[in-house]
Structure 1
Amino acid sequence: MRKGAERAQALPPEWVERLNQALFASPEDARLLEDPVILAACRRANRAELLHWANANMQRPGEPVEPYVSADMVDTARELAHRGLSELLMNVARSTQNTAWELWMKMAFGLTQDPALLEEFLDVSSRSISEFIDSNMRVITQIILEEKQAQAHDDHVDKRSLVSRLLDGRDIDTEQFGRRLGYSLAQKHLAYLVWSETAEAQVGELQDLARALANLTGATSALIVFAGPATLWAWSCVTKPVDLLSLQSAMARFPTLRAAIGAPASGLNGFRRSHLEALTTQRLMGRLAGAPPLASIDQVRMVSLMTQDARATRQFILSTLGRLASEPMVLQQSLHAFLAQGCNVTQTAEMLGTHRNTLLRRLERAQDLLPIPFAEHRIQIAAALELLIWSTPQDESER
Structure 2
Amino acid sequence: MTSTPSPWPRPSEAVRELMRKGAELAQTLPPEWIERLNQALFSSPEEVRLLEDPVILAACRRANRAELLHWANANLQRPGEPVEPYVSADMVDTARELARRGASELLMNVARSTQNVAWELWMKMAFSLTQDPVVLEEFLEVSLRSISGFIDNNMRVVTQIILEEKNVQAHDEHIDKRSLVSRLLDGRDVDTEQFGKRLGYSLSQKHHACLVWSEIPDAELRPLEEMARALAHLSGTVAPLIVFAGPATLWVWSNAAKPLDLNMLQGVARQFPKIRAAVGSPGAGVNGFRRSHLEALTTQRLMGRLAGAPAVATIDQVRMVSLMTQDARAARQFVLSTLGRLATEPMVLQRSLHAFLANGCNITQTAEALGTHRNTLLRRLERAQDLLPVQLADHRIRIAAALELVIWSIPLDNGEQ
The CA distance in 1 between the partners of 2:32 and 2:227, in whole Å, is: 37
Within a 5 Å distance, the mapping from 1:40-55 to structure 2 comes to: 40-55=58-73
Structure 1 position 155, deviation (Å): 5.5
Query: What is aligned with 1:303?
Result: 321
Query: What is aligned with 2:369?
Result: 351
Query: What is aligned with 2:164?
Result: 146
The answer to whether the 8 A contact 2:40-2:110 is kept is yes
Structure 1 position 397, deviation (Å): 8.2
The CA distance in 1 between the partners of 2:415 and 2:100, in whole Å, is: 38
The answer to whether the 8 A contact 2:306-2:409 is kept is yes
Structure 1 position 380, deviation (Å): 0.7
SS in 2 for 1:226: strand
* Deviant stretches of 4+, over 4 Å: none
Within a 5 Å distance, the mapping from 1:365-380 to structure 2 comes to: 365-380=383-398
The CA distance in 1 between the partners of 2:42 and 2:387, in whole Å, is: 38
Q: Cα deviations across residues 311-331 of structure 1 (Å, max 9, x unaligned)?
A: 111111111001001111111
Identify if the C-alpha distance between structure 1 residues 355 and 396 changes in structure 2 by more than 3 Å, giving closer, same or farther. closer
Paired residue type of 1:245: N
Deviates more, 1:98-107 or 1:145-154: 145-154
SS in 1 for 2:172: helix
Query: What is aligned with 2:283?
Result: 265
Structure 1 position 112, deviation (Å): 1.0
Deviates more, 1:238-247 or 1:15-24: 238-247
Structure 1 position 67, deviation (Å): 0.7
Confirm or deny that 1:84 pairs with 2:84.
no
The answer to whether the 8 A contact 1:192-1:259 is kept is yes
Q: Cα deviations across residues 366-390 of structure 1 (Å, max 9, x unaligned)?
A: 1110011212111110000000000
SS in 2 for 1:295: strand
Deviates more, 1:21-30 or 1:256-265: 21-30
Query: What is aligned with 1:68?
Result: 86
Residue 7 (structure 1) aligned to one of 25, 29, 36 = 25
The answer to whether the 8 A contact 2:207-2:283 is kept is yes
The answer to whether the 8 A contact 1:191-1:262 is kept is yes
Residue 174 (structure 1) aligned to one of 192, 202, 225 = 192
The answer to whether the 8 A contact 1:218-1:238 is kept is yes
The answer to whether the 8 A contact 2:347-2:412 is kept is no
Query: What is aligned with 2:309?
Result: 291
TM-score, normalisation: structure 2: 0.93
The CA distance in 1 between the partners of 2:244 and 2:46, in whole Å, is: 25
The answer to whether the 8 A contact 1:196-1:230 is kept is yes
SS in 2 for 1:34: coil
Paired residue type of 1:62: G
Query: What is aligned with 2:6?
Result: none
SS in 2 for 1:221: coil
Q: Cα deviations across residues 193-248 of structure 1 (Å, max 9, x unaligned)?
A: 00001103111111111111111211111111111111000111122221121121
Gaps of 5+ in 2: 1-18
The CA distance in 2 between the partners of 1:204 and 1:387, in whole Å, is: 34
Identify if the C-alpha distance between structure 1 residues 312 and 33 changes in structure 2 by more than 3 Å, giving closer, same or farther. farther
Within a 5 Å distance, the mapping from 1:56-135 to structure 2 comes to: 56-135=74-153
Q: Cα deviations across residues 295-339 of structure 1 (Å, max 9, x unaligned)?
A: 000100000110011111111111100100111111111111111
What is the number of residues matched between the two proteins?
399
Paired residue type of 1:5: A
Structure 1 position 157, deviation (Å): 2.0
Query: What is aligned with 2:251?
Result: 233
Query: What is aligned with 2:400?
Result: 382
The CA distance in 1 between the partners of 2:212 and 2:275, in whole Å, is: 7
Query: What is aligned with 1:391?
Result: 409
Structure 1 position 394, deviation (Å): 2.7
The CA distance in 2 between the partners of 1:397 and 1:276, in whole Å, is: 35
Structure 1 position 27, deviation (Å): 2.2
Paired residue type of 1:393: P
Confirm or deny that 1:332 pairs with 2:332.
no
Deviates more, 1:290-299 or 1:251-260: 251-260
The CA distance in 2 between the partners of 1:64 and 1:351, in whole Å, is: 59
The answer to whether the 8 A contact 1:389-1:397 is kept is no
Query: What is aligned with 2:9?
Result: none
Deviates more, 1:346-355 or 1:293-302: 346-355
The CA distance in 1 between the partners of 2:386 and 2:264, in whole Å, is: 35
SS in 2 for 1:110: helix
The CA distance in 2 between the partners of 1:326 and 1:397, in whole Å, is: 17
Query: What is aligned with 2:242?
Result: 224
The CA distance in 2 between the partners of 1:398 and 1:296, in whole Å, is: 25
The CA distance in 1 between the partners of 2:215 and 2:329, in whole Å, is: 27
SS in 1 for 2:241: strand
Identify if the C-alpha distance between structure 1 residues 397 and 297 changes in structure 2 by more than 3 Å, giving closer, same or farther. farther
TM-score, normalisation: structure 1: 0.98
SS in 2 for 1:219: coil
Structure 1 position 396, deviation (Å): 6.5
Query: What is aligned with 1:243?
Result: 261
Identity across matched positions, percent: 79
Confirm or deny that 1:189 pairs with 2:224.
no
The answer to whether the 8 A contact 1:52-1:68 is kept is yes
The CA distance in 1 between the partners of 2:268 and 2:404, in whole Å, is: 23
Gaps of 5+ in 1: none
Deviates more, 1:101-110 or 1:20-29: 20-29
